[in-house]
Structures are given as C-alpha cells and as structure tokens.
C-alpha cells in the first residue's frame, strides 16, 4: 500500500553532514521530549481530570498514523513509510464516527482551484464546528494541548519534535505522487507549516511548506521552529 521512497547519496561531506544531523536530531528529541514531559506533568494531570469530568470515554485517544524510517544501504537512503500508534488527549465524544473527517479530507486533498473555497470555514482550511468535539476538546485543540501526549511518541522514536505532521493511513492513500515526498523525513510534533501558516493555507500549500522544511532542515532550523511553536500555540493562530 505504501511505496518506499529512495534517495541516492554520494559519499561526500554533505552526506556525512546529513547523517550527523539525524543523529543530533535524535539526541535533541530524547532530551527535549523527556524534559518537556516532566515540565508539563502538572498540565497533563489537570487536563486528564477535565476530560474525564467533561465526557465519557478514555482520557488518551490512540490512533494509527503513518511515520517514516530512515534506512541507509550501500550509499542509498530509503525512507520507508510505516504505521505506528499515536497518542493524543481525547477531544471527541466516545465512539465518534471517523467518516466525517475522512469525507472532508477526501475532498480537501483532491480539491483544485475554486473548489478549495468549499473547504474554508471561519477563514480556515479545516473542519470547524465539528459536533463530535467536546467542550474541553475545543479548548485543547485551540491551544494544541491535545498533542502533548505525543511527546511519548517522540521518546519512543515514532516521531521527532520537528517534522511534517504524521498523516492518517486513508489520507496517504489519497496523496498525489508529489505529496509522498513529505514522508522523506521523520514526522514531527510541530513543523514549518504549524508555525508559519497552520490552517490558513490549503493542503497543497501545506505540503509545499513541508517540502521546503525538508530541503532546508538543520539543527538551527529545528531549534527556531521549536522556539516559535509555543508563541503560535498561545496566540491560537489558525486554531479551532
């Protein structure tokens, strides 16, 4: 279902720098995610109580997403898409049907030209006023607090702190060929799209931002994105 993406590398200084980048990136992920989990522990506990009081269902929501694994063989880097379980604070009613989101994304990813206007709500390219979302869930989504449990995914190595957001399997199945290039790096908790546009651009533009990040990614770029993320979250730019 998912075709591995390959990039041939020459054994030169740039190749060595890229290999060093991903090693350093992983070190930052482990140290950063571990530290953030400890610092946000009081918030995680309070949010857990609020979710439990607001509606029935588990506090943590588990969902299958598509990530990428970097494999180097004989000078060739292969980014192999793989499924993993992502963790989020539950923001929807228990047993909410996924069909609403799947139908929206099927149209949103394939929309072109004037068709894209159909997917703008309250000035944002996202599914807003979703009746499946709980009262507490709306606040969590607006501030991106629902994503905090994914720090555990980062520690496990499923994700990175910085990178394109991991997509749902049915979203990847809808991708055009050029969209698949956004899987050529570890998927992340935050990224260039989140800090520069969030839900204010259509799907194709969001993918272009992901590809721009992949082309320019470095430790400095990652650190700048990490520094911008809390400010964007507090401002709720492009929030629900």
Q: Is 180 exposed, middle or buried (0-12, 13-18, 19+ CB in 10 A)?
A: middle
Mean pLDDT over all residues of the chain? 82
Which alpha helices (H) appear in the chain, and where do they start and end? 13-39, 41-54, 99-110, 135-142, 150-156, 169-174, 192-196, 203-216, 219-235
Contacts of 224 (CB under 8 A, 6+ apart): none
> How many domains, in total, are found in the chain?
1
Domain assignment present for 118: yes
Interatomic CA distance for residues 136 and 52, integer angstroms: 10
CA 62 to CA 149: how far, in whole Å? 10
Residue 111 inside a domain? The answer is: yes
Is residue 76 included in any domain, yes or no?
Answer: yes
Is 237 a member of any domain? no
In a domain, 240, yes or no: no
Instruction: Give DSSP secondary structure letters for 80-143.
Output: EEEEEEEEEE--B-TT--SHHHHHHHHHHHH--GGGGGGG-BTTBSS--S-TTB-HHHHHHHHT
pTM (two decimals): 0.81
Structural domain that includes position 146? 5-232
Q: Is residue 171 part of a domain?
A: yes
- Cα distance between residue 145 and residue 140, in whole Å: 5
Determine, yes or no, domain membership for 10.
yes
Q: Stretch 7-24: mean pLDDT, rounded?
A: 63
Q: pLDDT of 132-189, one tens digit each?
A: 889 999 899 888 899 999 999 999 999 999 999 999 998 898 888 899 999 999 999 9
How far CA 118 is from CA of 109, 113, 115, 208, in Å, comes to 12, 10, 6, 21
pLDDT digits (tens, 9 = 90+) for 67-114: 998 888 877 788 889 999 999 999 988 877 666 666 666 666 665 544
- Confirm whether 239 is domain-assigned: no
């Amino acid at each position: 279902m998912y075709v591995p993406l390959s990039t041939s590398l020459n054994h030169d200084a740039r190749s060595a720098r890229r290999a060093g980048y991903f090693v350093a990136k992983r070190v930052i992920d482990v140290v950063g995610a571990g530290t953030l989990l400890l610092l946000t522990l009081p918030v995680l506990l309070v949010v857990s109580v609020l979710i439990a009081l607001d509606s029935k269902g588990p506090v943590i929501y588990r969902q299958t997403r598509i990530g990428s694994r970097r494999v180097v063989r004989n000078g060739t880097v292969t980014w192999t898409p793989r499924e993993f379980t992502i963790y989020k604070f539950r923001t929807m009613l228990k047993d909410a049907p996924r069909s609403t989101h799947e139908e929206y994304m099927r149209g949103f990813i394939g929309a072109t030209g004037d068709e894209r206007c159909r997917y703008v709500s309250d000035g944002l390219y996202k599914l807003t006023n979703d009746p499946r979302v709980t009262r507490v869930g709306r606040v969590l989504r607006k501030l991106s607090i629902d994503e905090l449990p994914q720090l555990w995914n980062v520690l496990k190595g499923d994700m990175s702190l910085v990178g394109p957001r991991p997509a749902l399997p049915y979203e990847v199945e809808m991708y055009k060929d050029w969209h698949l290039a956004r899987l050529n790096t570890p998927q992340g908790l935050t990224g260039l799209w989140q800090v520069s546009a969030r839900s204010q651009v259509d799907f194709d533009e969001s993918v272009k931002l992901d590809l721009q990040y992949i082309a320019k990614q470095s430790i400095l770029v990652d650190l700048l994105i990490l520094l911008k993320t809390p400010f964007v979250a507090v401002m709720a730019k492009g929030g629900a």
